Amino acid sequence: MLTKDVHRLIALCIFFLIVVLANAFFSNIVADHVSQAFEWLTDMSFSVRLIAAKIISGIKFSFSGEISKPVYIDGNIFGKYSPVLGTRESYILAAGDTNKGSVALDPNAKSVVGIVEKNTAGVCWIRPIRDSSFVMRVFVEKGDLVVEGELFGGERLRIYETVDVTGGEVYVSDDFPYGTLIRSIGYGKVGKVVGVENSYYLLKGTFKIPSHVILLPNLPES
């Protein structure tokens, strides 16, 4: 090693020691300033990795033919099987061309994901049932008891009868789009009633962001 390199190494060691001692003396203030000074580098690196991951994901979906594959039941087209692209604000984004009001199902969890609110450039914006503004018609089964009600935000249930439904299973109602069909194929269970809070029953569900969705088109009224 050259003498000049040795001097540089010694200088760096001394500088590092000074920074460590100053940071200890000033209660981590030095470390905070250094971290803020170089934070833009880590943010930029994260953004680049995120964009690259999205591009790779899009290429993979394109070559695998997974964009909006048809789903068949009894030989008839039932809906479209589409990949989830991510989330934006309170929405779940999925690839696929379908109209507002279409129903999104999770093929892995066999459950309702939400309702499509808009479609822009082949991307569906799905409002999930766990969104605070989402209200859906449901019914509760507890033994021989069946009670209709409304589910708010995917976890707060209100019924309009003076009965105790704690421990009951909650399912999508016939009033929900495709409700009867969704239950018949085993996708209708929403969760289980586990308690009470004020005028609401509380629901325990297993909702999570899916990797794919089945999109059932909103059929126009005849």
Instruction: Yes or no: say if 67 and 77 are a contact pair by the CB < 8 Å rule.
Output: no
Beta bridge partners of 124: 94, 119
Helix (H) / strand (E) containing 40: helix 39-64
Looking at 4-18, 37-51, 138-152, which range is the least confident one? 37-51
Which residue has better confidence, 184 or 8?
A: 184
pLDDT band at 115 (very low <50, low <70, confident <90, very high): very high
Which residue has better confidence, 57 or 16?
A: 16
Instruction: Yes or no: say if 171 and 156 are a contact pair by the CB < 8 Å rule.
Output: no
- How confident is the model over 131-152, as pLDDT tens digits? 989 999 999 999 999 999 999 9
Q: What is the spatial distance between Cα 66 and Cα 97, in angstroms, rounded to a whole number? A: 13
Helix (H) / strand (E) containing 85: strand 76-88
Sign for the pseudo-dihedral over CA of 109, 94, 81, 50: negative
Q: What is the spatial distance between Cα 203 and Cα 209, in angstroms, rounded to a whole number? A: 18
Domain boundaries, the chain: 3-63, 68-129+212-216, 135-204
- Counts of helices then strands in the chain (DSSP H, E): 4, 13
**DSSP labels, 154-202:** TTEEEESSS---TT-EEEE-TTSTTHHHHHHTT--EEEEEEEEETTEEE
Instruction: Yes or no: say if 190 and 168 are a contact pair by the CB < 8 Å rule.
Output: no
Kindly report the pTM of this predicted structure: 0.66
* Average pLDDT value for residue range 41-52: 48
- How confident is the model over 89-99, as pLDDT tens digits? 899 999 888 88
Side-chain-side CA neighbours of 182 within 13 Å: the count stands at 29
- How confident is the model over 160-214, as pLDDT tens digits? 888 999 999 999 999 999 899 899 889 999 999 999 988 899 998 767 889 889 9
Beta-carbon neighbour count of residue 207 at 10 Å?
19
Give the rounded distance of the alpha carbon of 6 from its chain centre: 55
- What pLDDT is stored for residue 50 in this prediction? 44
